[in-house]
Amino acid sequence: MLNKKLNRLMGPINEKKKYLHSIKEEPAGMLHSSVLRAFSAGRSPNKDALAAEIGLEPRQIATLLRSLDENDVLKLRDGEIASAYPFSAEPTRHQVLLPGRKPVFALCAIDALGIPFMLGEEATVNSTCPACGRPIAIEVTEGRANTDNRDVVVWVPTRKVDGKIADCLCPDIDFICSSDETAAWQKKIGFAGVMLELAETMELGDFIFSDFLTEN
């Protein structure tokens, strides 16, 4: 069902998963895992610290980061790591609270629900409905999403992926308070999308991120 609903998104997602699997035992894979571990601890990844962690020279780190950026598993801005799916270095609408860790920010609603699967931990996702401005809180426990507002859905644009997903789709993948608000929201922003139930979004987050972080 998800492949049918999100056919334009699933292709790039599968390409990224295949790429990450191919570099799993290589320095680029080790670096990617180190970047994700830094983000999950609430730290912006520092190139010197990454170099020390995996035993490479800073210039080698810079080369590998450019390769990861070109393959759209992270994003560089002025040479620094601006994001690495599912994390953003800058505050977003989607804050994720993890036990014993600093708050982290996700690039989109799907990524926010994927973080608990990637880390194998419980989490609280705090977001805001862009349609009405009301806060949305979701507890993720034992692979299930629990919220006081059982009408919450996730809205995903269906436009073609043209460039980095972090740029062309993530800013508009949001939690919406109810399905009743999605039509008005779609009309307001001016492009088409599909609505996912929370259970579907959890399934997608699990599929994408459960094997994203590998131990090297």
How confident is the model over 92-96, as a mean pLDDT?
Answer: 97
Contacts of 96 (CB under 8 A, 6+ apart): 103, 104, 105, 106, 112, 115, 116, 123, 124, 125, 126
How confident is the model over 201-214, as a mean pLDDT?
Answer: 91
Of 47, 64, 85, the position where a domain reaches its end is 85
Give the per-residue pLDDT at 7: 74
pLDDT at residue 216 greater than cutoff 60: no
Note the pTM of the prediction, 2 decimals: 0.94
Three-state secondary-structure class, residue 84: strand
Same domain, 56 and 11: yes
Which residue type sits at 191? Answer: F
Report if residue 151 sits inside a domain: yes
Nearest to 74 by CA among 85, 63, 64: 85
Give the per-residue pLDDT at 190: 84
Same domain, 149 and 56: no
Report if residue 194 sits inside a domain: yes
Report if residue 214 sits inside a domain: no
Residue range 34-56, pLDDT digits in tens: 999 999 999 989 889 999 999 99
Return mean pLDDT, the chain: 92
The domain that holds 99 is classified in CATH as: 3.30.450.410
Which residue segment(s) compose the domain that 128 sits in? 94-209
The side-by-side arrangement of strands in the sheet containing 153-157 is: 174-176, 153-157, 193-197
Of 30, 57, 85, the position where a domain reaches its end is 85
Report if residue 71 sits inside a domain: yes
